[in-house]
Amino acid sequence: MGNGILIVDDAAFMRMVIRDILVKAGYEVAGEAADGKEAIRLYRTLKPELVLLDITMPEMDGVDALKKIMQEDRDAKVIMCSALGQSSMVIECIQAGAKDYIVKPFQADRVIESIRKLIG
């Protein structure tokens, strides 16, 4: 534990925004991935404490990536990053084991609150 947080989003812009939010709140960023496949690969190698996982991505979307991650690590802590209008997908993710979700556009305190509840 204590390996930091993995940020997964296809937009470099969003990754940068999230990274800054995390760093400002004193969290460590384990790494960044731009699609689902990379997320799974990095999850295996970095063993992050928590994953912030975007839903809409190329290659493999967040829903499938989440399922794969949960399959490999039942205790994985994954927070989905979604947008309005993705309700059904978020529910699917929660049923698949996502611990929480945050909605774009991100409010820093919401993001941090959600992370605090999971990893303190």
Partner 1 sequence: MDVSQYLEIFIDEAKEHLENLNTQIMNLEQDGENMDTINEIFRAAHSLKGMAGTMGFKNMQTLTHDMENVFSEVRNGNVKVSSEMVDVLFQCLDALDEYVTNIQQTADEGDNDNAALIKAVNDFLAASENDGEKAPQSTASSQAGGSPTAGAGAEEGNAPSADGGAQNGNPNGDSNGKHKWKEIKIGNVEKGAIADAAKEGLQAYGISVYIQESCLLKAARAFLVFRAMEEIGEVILSVPSVQDIEDERFDKDFSVIYLTEEPLNKVLDAIKNVSEIEDAVGDVVNLSEGEAKEEGDKASGAGTGAGSGSGDTSASKEKSQAGNAKQDTKKVMGKPVVNRTVRVDIEKLDSLMNLVSELIISKNSLVSVASTEIGTSSLAFNEQIEYLESVTTSLHESVMKVRMVPIESVVTKFPRMIRDLSKKLDKKMELYMTGEDTELDRTVVDEIGDPLMHLLRNSADHGLESAEVRAQRGKPEVGSIFLDAYQDGNNVVIEVKDDGNGIDVEAVKAKAIEKGKITPEQAETMTEKEVIDLLFQPSFSTAKQVSDVSGRGVGLDVVKSKIESLSGEVEVSTKLGEGTTFTIRLPLTLAIIQTLMVIVGGEKYAISLGSIQTIESIPVDEVKTVQGREVIYLRGNVIPLVRLTKELGVESMNAPDADLLVLIAKKGDRLAGIVVDEMIGQMEIVIKSMGKFIGKSKLISGATILGNGEVALILDANAMI
Contacts with partner 1 by CB under 8 A lie at: 10-14, 16-17, 20, 34-35, 56-59, 61, 63-64, 82-88, 90-92, 94-95, 100-101, 103-108, 110, 113-114, 117
Question: CB-wise, 28 or 118, nearer to partner 1?
Answer: 118
DSSP tag of 23? H
CA distance 87 to 36: 19
Burial 49-70, CB ≥16 within 10 A → b, else e: bbbbbbbbbeebbbbebbbbbb
Q: At closest approach, how far in Å is the CB of 48 from partner 1?
A: 20
Burial degree of 79 (CB within 10 A; 0-12, 13-18, 19+): buried
Q: At closest approach, how far in Å is the CB of 111 from partner 1?
A: 10
Question: CB-wise, 61 or 73, nearer to partner 1?
Answer: 61
Q: At closest approach, how far in Å is the CB of 65 from partner 1?
A: 12
Q: How many CA atoms are closer than 13 Å to the CA of 105, on its beta-carbon side?
A: 2
Q: At closest approach, how far in Å is the CB of 73 from partner 1?
A: 18
